[in-house]
Amino acid sequence: MTSDDDDAALMAEARAGSRLAFSRLIDRRQQAVRAFLRRVAADREDADDLAQETFVTAWARLSSWNGRSSVRAWLLGIAWRKARSAGRSLFRRMARDRAWADAEALRPPPFSDHDDRLALKAAMERLNLQERAAVALCLAEDYSHAEAAAILDLPLGTVKSQVQRGRAKLLEAMEARP
């Protein structure tokens, strides 16, 4: 009996509900799956996690093995799809991180000392409630004017004018400091 025949027999038992047979199949094929994933995964540290996901998916999809390919090839196909999906996720995450870092580089530095933070807080407290809310959302939290208008349930023009007035008052207060 060949190795592929042994795998097919274990697969038949696993499909009949034998967890022990599937466990034996994992023991027989996990090295091949892990080695493949270590070679192809975008992030090599994820290879073992992807291997585990491969076997969880295989267990859930036992009925999808049709016997036309070896069990090993079927498992490697699942592993390949897992690695490809993880790679796409990694590259999307890296692109988001780059975009965030680029945006942060353009953002003015935060106030550097305690006195500046206290002065800004005092200036914010002198704004009326709507100005303070509009400034907090649009300038501190980076919401668009339209998003702030929806959050505050105010007309867009009102939010724009509140932000403009609030910003002018804050700049005036900060420049008037000694």
For the chain, 178 residues long, give each residue's pLDDT as a single digit of tens.
567 778 889 988 899 988 999 999 999 999 999 999 998 887 778 889 999 999 999 999 988 888 888 888 899 999 999 988 888 887 888 888 888 888 877 776 665 677 777 877 888 888 888 898 998 899 888 899 999 999 999 999 999 999 999 999 888 888 876 6
Tokens of 50: 């992807």
Measure the CA–CA gap between 44 and 48, rounded to whole angstroms: 8
95 with 7, same domain: the answer is yes
34 with 65, same domain: the answer is yes
36 with 95, same domain: the answer is yes
Number of domains in the chain: 2
Q: Which among 51, 77, 105 is the end of a domain?
A: 105
Crossing angle for the helix pair 47-60 and 19-40, nearest 10 degrees? 140
Instruction: Give pTM, 2 decimals.
Output: 0.53
Kindly write down the DSSP assignment for every residue of 6-27, as one continuous string. Answer: HHHHHHHHHHTT-HHHHHHHHH
The Cα-based distances of 143 to 23, 136, 137 in angstroms read 52, 9, 6
What does the chain come to in residues? 178
88 with 149, same domain: the answer is no
Containing structural domain, residue 152? 114-175
118 with 75, same domain: the answer is no
Kindly report the backbone phi and psi dihedral angles of residue 4, in degrees, each rounded to the nearest multiple of 5, phi listed first: -65, -35
